[in-house]
Amino acid sequence: MDIKNQHIRNFLRIIAAIILLVYLYDIATDKIRDGKIYLDMNDGYVIFGCIAILLAIEAVRAFVKKKLGKDGKSHE
């Protein structure tokens, strides 16, 4: 795998994880303060999008690793 690709993947993982942690913090503070959680469709789209990005990164990585492994050209 190319070092540049690894940095891009790590950057996307970090951004998605930070966004998920911010939403988790917001949900937890609302639950503690008001006893209720207020989420709208946009919150759901952002959370779903972050999870989809994380899953897509890992799926593409596994696919490429599998294809390179079959050819015997695996360079980790």
| Per-residue pLDDT, 73 | 55
* Assigned domain for 66 exists: yes
35: left (phi over 0), alpha (psi -120 to 50) or beta: left
Q: Provide the residue range defining the domain that includes 44.
A: 3-71
| Per-residue pLDDT, 75 | 54
Distance separating alpha carbons of residues 71 and 76, to the nearest angstrom: 14
* Assigned domain for 19 exists: yes
How far apart, in Å, are the Cα atoms of 9 and each of 3, 32, 65, 69? 10, 34, 14, 20
| Per-residue pLDDT, 3 | 64
In this predicted model, what pLDDT tens digit does every residue of 23-69 receive, in sequence order? Answer: 889 888 888 898 888 888 988 898 898 889 888 888 888 888 888 88
In this predicted model, what pLDDT tens digit does every residue of 3-32 receive, in sequence order? Answer: 677 788 888 889 988 999 998 898 888 888
* Assigned domain for 76 exists: no
Total domain count for the chain?
1
| Per-residue pLDDT, 70 | 66
